[in-house]
Chains A and B, each alone.
Chain A
Amino acid sequence: SAVISQKPSRDICQRGTSLTIQCQVDSQVTMMFWYRQQPGQSLTLIATANQGSEATYESGFVIDKFPISRPNLTFSTLTVSNMSPEDSSIYLCSVQGSGPEAFFGQGTRLTVV
């Protein structure tokens, strides 16, 4: 199984600021994803992080709000820009390799005040 390190684990941020979340995997993986889990809710896919090209965003999510980088096969970042209290959520990095397993990081608990 892949070991995923996600940083920071939690943060409290002022509205209007931005936060960058890092996801580091201990092995090269084919696919990396970013999910959002709003309080008491299920997981919603934000985007697929593509290595060497622009991320693929799901309906309702845009690059200006959630810019994503993936410079190589083991690392990705998600930035939550111009934050508002509605952005308070858990943000999770997920990876899939050549097999069917999908693994998740521990998540970043973001509170916007």
Chain B
Amino acid sequence: GEDVEQSLFLSVREGDSSVINCTYTDSSSTYLYWYKQEPGAGLQLLTYIFSNMDMKQDQRLTVLLNKKDKHLSLRIADTQTGDSAIYFCAEKGDSGAGSYQLTFGKGTKLSVIP
């Protein structure tokens, strides 16, 4: 089946930029997503990018997509302690009946050091 890989942990100092990386295997991915999960909470959709785009910026968040290498990254500028959470990368394929299904990575736990 399709696979999404992320590093498990990232630690940054408050005020620095955070970069969370993700790789995926599905060459027919249509959309790629970043979700944030705070302790005890559900998943919050942060942003998503269409597969024919290479960059999307939304306030402190910048998503970069390298479709050739199947590599997605999420950059958080001026990281704050409130950004401490688990970040999930997910992709939506284009496989007919299964085209609505999202495949998730294992999540990257971001720790922000004050």
Chain A interface residues (CB < 8 Å from chain B): 1, 6, 31, 33, 41-43, 45, 48, 92, 94, 96, 100-107, 109
Give me 15 A-to-B residue pairs in the complex whose CB atoms sit less than 8 angstroms apart, sorted by A's number: A6-B42, A31-B100, A33-B100, A42-B104, A42-B106, A43-B104, A48-B101, A92-B43, A96-B100, A100-B30, A100-B31, A100-B50, A104-B42, A104-B44, A106-B42
Supposing A43-B88, A92-B43 touch, asked if A102 and B102 sit within 8 A by C-beta, the answer is: yes
Q: CA–CA, A94 to B102, complex, Å?
A: 10
Interface of A is mostly: strand
CB neighbours of B105 from chain A (8 A): 42
Chain B interface bracket (under 10, 10 to 19, 20 to 34, 35 or more) = 20 to 34
Q: Tell me the nearest residue of chain B to A31, going by C-beta.
A: B100
A96 neighbours in B (Cβ, 8 Å): 100
Would you give the shortest CB distance from A47 to chain B, in whole angstroms? 11
Q: Assess the A92–B42 pair: CB atoms within 8 A.
A: yes
Given A48-B101, A92-B43, A103-B45, 13 more contacts at CB 8 Å? A42-B105, A42-B106, A45-B102, A48-B100, A100-B48, A100-B92, A102-B33, A102-B90, A102-B92, A102-B102, A104-B35, A104-B44, A109-B40
Give the contacts of B41-56 with A (CB-CB under 8 A): 41-45, 48, 50
A68 to B100, CA, bound (A): 18
Tell me the complex Cα distance, A94–B92, Å.
14
Most buried by B among A6, A33, A104: A104
Q: A42-B107, A100-B50 are in contact. Are A107 and B42 (CB under 8 A)?
A: yes
A106-B41 in contact (CB<8A): yes
Question: Which of A102, A104, A107 has the most B CB atoms < 10 Å from its CB?
Answer: A102
Q: Closest 10 A-B residue pairs measured CB to CB? A: A106-B42, A104-B43, A107-B42, A42-B106, A42-B104, A43-B104, A100-B31, A104-B42, A31-B100, A105-B42
